[in-house]
Structure 1
Amino acid sequence: MKGTLVNVAAVVAGSLVGMVLKKGIPERYQLTVTHGLGMAVGLIGLQMALKTQNILIVIISLGLGGLVGEKIDIDRWLNRLGAWISRRLGDQYGDAGQGFVTASLVFCVGAMAVVGSIQDGLTGDASTLYAKSMLDGVFSMVFSSTMGIGVALSGVSILLYQGSITLLAGICSSILSDAIITEMTAVGGVLIVGISLLMLKLKTVKVANLLPAIPVAAVVTALWLK
C-alpha cells in the first residue's frame, strides 16, 4: 500500500500547486494546455493498446465489459458523484465534479496503476508506483490549473482503486501471468484513448461503463490460454 499512499500524496500536492498557478494563467492558455494534454493522453493510450498479443481478447473484453458496465451504469453513478461534489463546493474552485471524474479515470485506468499495484502487492516493490506518482504529480498540477480542486479529490479514487488491486494481488498471485497483465494493459489503453476523446470534446464516450473490461480481460485471457 505504500506506493499507493505516495501516489495519493503526489496528486494532492500537485493539485494544490496547480490551483495556485491557475490564478495567473489566462483562460485561452488553459484551453490550449487542456487540448495538448488530451492528445498526450491519447498517445499514451495507443502505446498501451498496441502491446496486446491478441486483438480478439481486447475486442471480446471490451464487448463483455461494456455490457456489464452498462448494466451497472457506472458512468451515471460516477457523474452523479461528480455533480454532487460540484454542488457542495460551488464554482469558486472550478468545475470540481469534472476535475474529479476526469482525473480519476486518467490516474486509475492506466497500465502503471494496474501493473504497479499488482507488483506492490506481490513483491512489496513499489518502484513502478513511485514513478507513476511523479508523473501523476505533474499531470495533476496541470489538470488542476484548468479543472480545479476536483483533481485533488481524485486521490480518494486512487486510494480505493490501487489499494484494492494491491490487496487482491496477494490473493490472486497464482493466476496473474504476464500474458494476463499484458491484455489488461492493452484494454486499459483503449479506455485511455476514450478519455482523450472526452478531454478534446470530440466524442461523448461512457468510459466508466467500460471499466469492467479490464478485469474481464484477465478472465478471458486465462480461459483463452487454457
Structure 2
Amino acid sequence: MIGPYVNGACLLAGSISGALIGPKLNPNIRMQMPMVFGCASMGLGVAMIVKVKFLAPVVLALVLGSLFGELVQLERIIQKAAGHAKAWVEKIVPPTDTMNQHEFLEKFVALLVLFCVSGTGIYGSMSEGMTGDPTLLIVKSILDLFTAAIFASTMGYSLGLLVVPQFTVQSLLYLASALILPLTTPDMLADFSACGGLIMLATGFRICGIKQFPVASMIPALLIVMPMSWAWSILMP
C-alpha cells in the first residue's frame, strides 16, 4: 500500500507549509488560487459525469443519499467535529488562519469532500488494491499538495487534520477492493463515477463561493449508487 501514504504525506506537508508561509504569501494568490482549484473541481466533475451509463439511478441515488444526509444532519456533525478539532490544534500551535469561524467551517467541509471522497481518491485506492499500481493516487497527491498549501495559508494548521479521514477512507477502500471490484460491472463503475462527478461539481461551486451546496450531506449517495445502478440494469435492460 503506497498511494494512501503518499497522499496523506502530501496533504500534511501542504497544510503545514501553507500555514507557515501564509502570512508572507501574496494576498492575491491567497484569494484567487482557491477560485482556480474550485474551477478545477468543477471541470473534473463534468469529466466524470459524462461517463454515466444509467442517469436515472444516479439522480435517484443523489436525491435519496442527500435526503438521508440532511435527516441525520451529516454536515452539522462534521462542522461540529471540525470546530472542536480546530480548537484543539490551536492549543498546540498558534492560530494562523484569517477566516471567521463560519467561513472556516464552510470551506473545511468542502475540502473534506474534495480530499477524502473525490472520485479520483476512491477509484485510485480501489485500483491500487486490485492492481498494485498507485499512479492515480500519486497524481492526486501532487494536486492535493498545492491545494492544501494554498488553502492552509488562510485556514491554518487545522487543515492538516483532514489527513485522518483521507487516509482512513483510502486505506479501507484499498483493503476492501479485492471484495468490491469483482462484484461490480463497467456500467456500475461508470454510474459511480457520474455520481461522484456531481458531488465534485457541487464542491467546486462551493469552493468558489457561487452556491453553498450541502456537499457533506450528498456523500451517502456514493454508498448506494452502484447497487441502484445494478438494480436498474436488471429491471430496465
Structure 2 length as normaliser, TM-score?
A: 0.86
Partner of 2:175: 167
Partner of 2:36: 36
Q: Distance in 1 between matches of 2:226 and 2:216?
A: 18
Partner of 2:95: 92
* C-alpha deviation, 1:124, in angstroms: 2.3
Q: Distance in 1 between matches of 2:187 and 2:218?
A: 21
* C-alpha deviation, 1:75, in angstroms: 0.7
User: Residues 202-221 of structure 1: CA distance to partner in whole angstroms, max 9, x if unpaired?
Assistant: 22221111101112111111
Structure 1 length as normaliser, TM-score?
A: 0.90
Q: Work out whether 1:149 is the aligned partner of 2:152.
A: no
* C-alpha deviation, 1:99, in angstroms: 5.6
Structure 2 SS opposite 1:92: coil
Q: Distance in 1 between matches of 2:135 and 2:29?
A: 34
Gaps of 5+ in 1: none
Q: Distance in 1 between matches of 2:114 and 2:46?
A: 14
Figure out how many residues of one structure are paired with residues of the other and give that number.
Answer: 226
Q: Distance in 1 between matches of 2:107 and 2:62?
A: 25
Q: Work out whether 1:134 is the aligned partner of 2:130.
A: no
Gaps of 5+ in 2: none
What is the aligned-residue RMSD (CA, Å)? 2.0
Alignment check: 8 A CA contact 1:110 1:185 kept: no
More deviation, 42-51/203-212: 42-51
Partner of 2:7: 7
Q: Distance in 1 between matches of 2:29 and 2:167?
A: 31
Distance 1:151 1:86, change over 3 A: closer
Amino acid at match of 1:52: V
Partner of 1:83: 83
Alignment check: 8 A CA contact 1:100 1:153 kept: no
* C-alpha deviation, 1:175, in angstroms: 1.0
Amino acid at match of 1:53: K
Q: Percent of pairs identical after alignment?
A: 25
